[in-house]
Amino acid sequence: MRVLIVDDERLARAELRRLLAAFPDVEVVGEATHVEQARQQVEALTPDLLLLDIQMPGGTGFDVLEHLDEPPDVIFTTAYDAHAVRAFSVNALDYLLKPIEAERLAEALERVRQRGHVQQPPETSRPAGTPLERVFVRDGERCWLVQLAQVPLISSEGNYSRLHLPGHQPLLLRSLSYLEEKLDPARFFRASRQHLINLDFVETLEPGPGGTLVARLRGGPEVEMSRRQSLRFRERMSL
């Protein structure tokens, strides 16, 4: 497991390195001390796991994640931050309180290992051009790493996009066009200027007004395709 440590304090990084030395399968590939550097290091080193401090110069750990195209697994480290701690739905993101207990670290790493096996093939380094699989989203006080395969519908909100998940609709700091380019075209289809639908979630298709198609998605929403996209969809289906 290739780990990047992000913390602005040298001693805190040293302590983490010391703790991580006990795990033979963990390799510390780099360190970053602030938001900008962290982003660059993630892009350059593509680590499997980020040990990410929350309070840093130039922003928070969340700011690092929000702008990453392909966020790795994350374990937050924080001295004390009641709000931040509340922010995690624990099964999605883990956190460790400083000073870090070796046992808790082992637990968190184990969780990451398991998650890694479920979601990713063993060859973890992804060649460029592979479709985007998940994104980090922050909705008010909560944070998730969202598997995009589980998102039925994405709608456009100006320069941002809204993920329509059952129960919550977080905003993503990416445009719909950007997402369309990055997402797996076998799974996501641009239904209209406004909508990107997940084909795995399409339950029924009905003819709409003027030769268009209306897709009903599992879990409720109906999406009307534009005329042009309806045509394209029909062509694609007939192939």
Partner 1 sequence: MSSRRTLVYAACQLGGWGLYGLSNILLSILFIATTSRGGEQFASRTAWTVLMCLSGGLLTHLARTWLPMREWVRLPMRRLALLVPLTCSALGLVQQVIGLVLAYPVLHIYGASDFSFTFIITGGAFWAVVMLMWLLTYLTVHFVEQARETERERWRQEVAAQTSELRFLKAQLQPHFLFNCLNSVRALIVEDPARAQQAVTRLSTLLRHALSSHGPETVPLSQELQVVRDYLSLEGIRLEERLRVREDVAPETLGIAVPAMLVQTLVENAIKHGIAQTPEGGEVTVLTRVREGALLLEVANTPAPSGTPAPPHSNGEGLHNASERLRLLCGAGASLQLDQTSAVLTTARVRIPLPP
- Residues forming the site for partner 1 (CB under 8 A): 8-12, 14-15, 18, 33-34, 37, 55, 57-60, 63, 79-81, 83-84, 97-100
CA distance 9 to 96: 16
Q: How far is the CB of 91 from partner 1 (least distance, A)?
A: 24
Nearer to partner 1, 63 or 139 (CB): 63
Strand order through the sheet with 49-53: 27-32, 2-6, 49-53, 73-78, 94-97
Q: Do 193 and 226 contact (CB within 8 A), yes or no?
A: yes
Q: Which residues, including other chains, have CB under 8 Å from residue 101's CB and lie 6 or more apart?
A: none
Q: How far is the CB of 63 from partner 1 (least distance, A)?
A: 7
Q: Do 53 and 26 contact (CB within 8 A), yes or no?
A: no
Q: How far is the CB of 99 from partner 1 (least distance, A)?
A: 4
- Owner of token pair 């670290």: 105
CA distance 148 to 131: 10
Nearer to partner 1, 77 or 212 (CB): 77
Q: How far is CA 165 from the centre of its chain?
A: 14
CB atoms within 10 A of CB 139: 15
Pair of tokens at residue 117? 């096996």
Q: How far is the CB of 58 from partner 1 (least distance, A)?
A: 6
Give the three-state DSSP class for 148. helix
Nearer to partner 1, 3 or 215 (CB): 3
Q: Within 13 Å, how many C-alpha atoms sit on residue 26's CB side? A: 23
Q: How far is the CB of 59 from partner 1 (least distance, A)?
A: 5
Strand order through the sheet with 213-217: 202-207, 213-217, 222-224
Q: How far is the CB of 35 from partner 1 (least distance, A)?
A: 9
Nearer to partner 1, 10 or 117 (CB): 10
Nearer to partner 1, 7 or 133 (CB): 7
Nearer to partner 1, 7 or 94 (CB): 7
